[in-house]
Amino acid sequence: MGFITVSVRVYNPKDLTKFKDVELLVDSGALHMSISKNVLKELGILPIRKGRYKTFEGREIERDVGEALIELEGEKRHVPVIFAEEGDVNVLGVTTLEIFELRVNPLTKKLEPATYPLI
């Protein structure tokens, strides 16, 4: 299928004057969005909890999790965001895709509107 990347604008949800554009790898196998903790701290976004995750190698890791306001495809939504450590990849995961009601088209390598079941 190849790699798909997108550019998003990340806002501090409590201060919309603080934002930064970030390039992310789209990974529908990842749960949440993951962005460098340095970027999130620079924007004043604080962790609200700890989360446990499994890497693709099968290792369990713990990461801080917060909330950011994300602008993607001209729309803004609040999404959970993992504070990525050095060596982690910045990714846009399935939770963000679902919140924005988007899906990955493997033929065009683009995001497109998705229709999800109501029930």
Sign for the pseudo-dihedral over CA of 46, 51, 54, 59: positive
pTM for this model (two decimals): 0.90
Cβ contact 4:104 at 8 Å: yes
Q: Each residue of 57-83: pLDDT tens digit? A: 889 999 999 999 999 999 999 999 999
Of 113, 105, 49, 39, the C-alpha closest to 70 is 39
What average pLDDT score do residues 76-102 get? 96
What fold characterizes domain 5-113?
Cathepsin D, subunit A; domain 1 (2.40.70)
Q: Would you tell me how many other CB atoms lie within 10 Å of the CB of residue 49?
A: 9
- pLDDT grade, residue 110 (50/70/90)? very high
Q: Each residue of 45-57: pLDDT tens digit? A: 999 999 999 887 8
User: Rounded mean pLDDT of the chain?
Assistant: 94
Q: What pLDDT score was predicted for residue 119?
A: 72
SS3 of residue 66 by DSSP:
strand
Helix (H) or strand (E) holding 108: none
CA 64 to chain centre: 14
Return the minimum-mean-pLDDT range out of 16-20, 76-80, 86-90.
86-90
Q: What pLDDT score was predicted for residue 56?
A: 79
Cβ contact 112:100 at 8 Å: no
Domain ranges of the chain: 5-113
Of 26, 2, 22, 1, the C-alpha closest to 11 is 22
Q: What pLDDT score was predicted for residue 2?
A: 67
